[in-house]
Structure 1
Amino acid sequence: MIKKIFAAVTLIALMTVAVVQAMEKEEQPDNLPGLGVGLKAPDFELKNLEGKTVKLSDYAGKKVMLNFWATWCPPCKAEMPDMQKFYKEAGDDIVILAVNIDPQYDVAGFAKEMNISFPILLDEKDKVSTVYKILTIPTTYFIDEKGIIRHKYLSALPIEKMREYTEDM
């Protein structure tokens, strides 16, 4: 009888440990294309529309919304007004870096037409989009102050998600 009680108590204790460990387990990397949530965001260096070199590491200690897009992409065009509105409302709290993957087109004209004032970077040799494993656009990464990818969004990003993801970092 004592052996049965001991076995039952041991079984319950092991199950409790398993449940607690499962609950404490950190968020698993997602299965969406691109770099996974929880990874350190790779640094990069690109030129902006004015020809100035910009690095991700220039914004260490700040929250960064890193967006990959193209001028010919309808969902990219659809999200631009919300990104501009979010850029204005976020002020200095959040940095938006919009990485354009088709700089052979008139990106400056597109930005002017869309009234965009947030930084646009030109990935002329597809180096950054390759490092970030961009397969679909738009793709947006939300990077915290420590340089860790906290969220990833594939498709046109509504302003509500921009607010939610940046508050949650």
Structure 2
Amino acid sequence: MVLAALLLSPVAAAEPIEFEMEDIDGKQHKLSSYRGKWVLLNYWATWCGPCRQEMPDLDELHETNEDVVVLGINLEDASSRKLKMFREQYSISFPLLKSSADADGINGPIQKLPTSYLLSPDGEIAGYQVGTITREAIESYIDKQAK
């Protein structure tokens, strides 16, 4: 399957990624506070059909893997109220961070949604996926890295 091969196209090693963003409940999330865990940064929007399609899988990944954190970064100018309604509708348990439609991703402009970056436990970009991603593909990638 192309997805499994594409997941997590490697990215040149760099310094650990750092940012601090607010979620839709007003809580600050500092990326360095998740060191020691794999972090999936998922860029999405409420109007994006493929984004909505992958949400249940990403939520299951977040809920069932204690070594993985999913952070959803919303790339639209949506109100917290709208995003909270979306979270409730899709039963999302992972943090939804607010950004704006013209914001860049951690590695430059986001060209297509959804786009996901997987950060290693040391905070470096391990790889990325443009388009939908599955829980199984992420778990498989992480398992291979552990061997």
Which residue is 2:119 aligned to? 143
Match of 1:77 among 52, 59, 78: 52
For residue 103 of structure 1, report the CA deviation from its aligned partner.
4.2
| Structure 1 spans left out of the alignment, 5+ residues | 1-34
Query: Is the contact made by 1:151 and 1:165 (CA closer than 8 Å) also made in structure 2?
Result: no
The number of residue pairs the alignment matches comes to 134
| 1:45-84 alignment, distance < 5 Å | 45-84=20-59
| 1:1-169 alignment, distance < 5 Å | 36-90=11-65, 92-105=66-79, 106-124=82-100, 126-129=102-105, 132-169=108-145
Label 1:133 to 1:124 Cα distance change in 2 as closer, same or farther (>3 A). Answer: closer
- Structure number, greater radius of gyration: 1
What is the rounded CA distance, in whole Å, between the counterparts of 1:133 and 1:143 in structure 2? Answer: 18
| Structure 2 spans left out of the alignment, 5+ residues | 1-9
SS of the residue corresponding to residue 43 of structure 2 reads: strand
The residue identity in structure 2 corresponding to 1:76 is: C
**For the aligned residues, what is the CA RMSD?**
2.1
Identical columns (%): 32
Structure with the higher helix share, 1 or 2: 1
SS of the residue corresponding to residue 65 of structure 1 reads: strand
SS of the residue corresponding to residue 105 of structure 2 reads: helix
Higher relative contact order (CA 8 A, sep 6+): 2
Label 1:57 to 1:103 Cα distance change in 2 as closer, same or farther (>3 A). Answer: farther
SS of the residue corresponding to residue 102 of structure 1 reads: coil
